[in-house]
Amino acid sequence: MSIQVLKPKFHVDECLEQIRECLEKGWTGLGFKTVEFEEQWKQFTGHKNAHFLNSATVGLHLAVEILKKENGWEEGDEIITTPITFVSTNHAILYEKLVPRFADIDEYLCLDPIDVEKKINDKTKAVMFVGYGGRVGQLDKIIEICKNHDLKLILDAAHMAGTRVNGVCPGTFEGVDVTVYSYQAVKNLPTADSGMICFENVGNDVICRKLTWLGINKDTYERSSDKGTYKWKYDVDYLGYKDHGNSIMAAIALVQLKYLDEDNIYRRKLAAYYDELFVENDRVQIIKAPYRDECSFHIYEVAVEDRDGLMQALNDADIYAGVHYRDNTEYDMYSYDYGKCPYAHKISQHIITLPLHLGLTMEDIKKIAGVVNVFTK
């Protein structure tokens, strides 16, 4: 049987039970389960505010848009960001006609605080920090830089569902203005697709809820009573979008959340076994993780000299790896900063994402690592 790089695990019967409740009630859209999941997520993470969305991508866009509007940023202002991420991170900045200004990465594949400080200029308004693979990186230093330079901080926590630092969710750290999570199909807390945006400022959360429902000041759930009566009159405060999540996705998320910590513990065990099997191979660079015992380990990656050759060797063994991610400055739309993040550019030619998911056994990890070790030695 082939081994895939990512594969979600759903608790099918429990998910179907939750979905059945939505269908029997006749409420599958915004409200009902979305409200319940928002409350559960706040309890799980410690966030004060949480709004359920149809994807993390729209969450990143909303984070940038609202911070721009509320702080008077102008077109052409800059947000410092990473080149090693999925393009939605940096597209969110372009959507608002701001400039992604790329800073280099550190050994954890997260933003390097030293280079971030070098990239700050008069146009810099914020920093977009990506918790790569669930790693917290040097987020504490980035927070300090943002405080010192009066910059907003957006945490792209797409990989960080369940990550903690000394028991605390990084998105709740003082100095983080907004955190965006992903519950996309293969994430640690999978649904078909959805996300969550958590603003520190309650006023921003209020604006966000209006923007995600076409700018309408009261959504249909708020306007419906327990007796079935419906208040039809509302106002439209903003030119908004259809970005909110729905109760079917929230129903799945409610089930998956119950198992998130347990699932992440198993991911850490798999990652630790990879580390053990690679530790004596100096041709395999293990990507380290600070606070390793609390990292979500959404993905596991190493760096090797011949990445493409290794991928072929794995394929020949019916093992399918991946690459997360290509240096974004190699894309035409971001090429203005090409060559300005040398470590990111170099490492992106060598990193390979090895299979890491709940369907794998320790024997699977041993098999995968065996192929890697044989090929690289």
Residue 218, pLDDT score: 78
Tell me: pLDDT of 312 over 90: yes
Please identify, among 258, 293, 314, the residue that sits at the C-terminal boundary of a domain. Answer: 258
Domain CATH for 178:
3.40.640.10
The reply to whether 221 and 322 lie within a common domain is no
CA dist 235 → 35, 98, 143, 231 (Å):
22, 30, 38, 12
- Reported confidence tier of residue 217, pLDDT bands at 50, 70, 90: confident
- Residue 303 phi, psi (nearest 5): -115, 135
- Reported confidence tier of residue 231, pLDDT bands at 50, 70, 90: low
Tell me: pLDDT of 228 over 60: no
Contacts 24+ apart (CB under 8 A), 365-368: 365/270, 365/273, 365/274, 365/277, 366/273, 366/277, 367/3, 367/317, 367/319, 368/3, 368/274, 368/314, 368/319
148-172 pLDDT, tens digit per residue, is 999 999 999 999 999 999 999 999 9
Residue 226, pLDDT score: 54
- Reported confidence tier of residue 233, pLDDT bands at 50, 70, 90: confident
The reply to whether 193 and 324 lie within a common domain is no
Round to the nearest angstrom and report the end-to-end CA distance of the chain: 26
CA dist 259 → 159, 189, 206, 369 (Å):
16, 9, 30, 27
Domain that holds residue 236: 12-258
> For residue 243, which of 296, 196, 198, 302 has the smallest C-alpha distance?
196
Is residue 7 domain-resident?
no
In DSSP terms, 301 is beta-bridged to 353
- Reported confidence tier of residue 365, pLDDT bands at 50, 70, 90: very high
Tell me: pLDDT of 223 over 80: no
> For residue 342, which of 353, 352, 327 has the smallest C-alpha distance?
327
- Write down the residue that tokens 């998130």 correspond to: 260
Percentage, residues of the chain above pLDDT 70: 96
Tell me: pLDDT of 327 over 60: yes
Residue 221, pLDDT score: 60
Tell me: pLDDT of 255 over 70: yes
How many residues does the structure list for the chain? 377
Tell me: pLDDT of 227 over 80: no
How many structural domains comprise the chain?
Answer: 2
The reply to whether 329 and 185 lie within a common domain is no
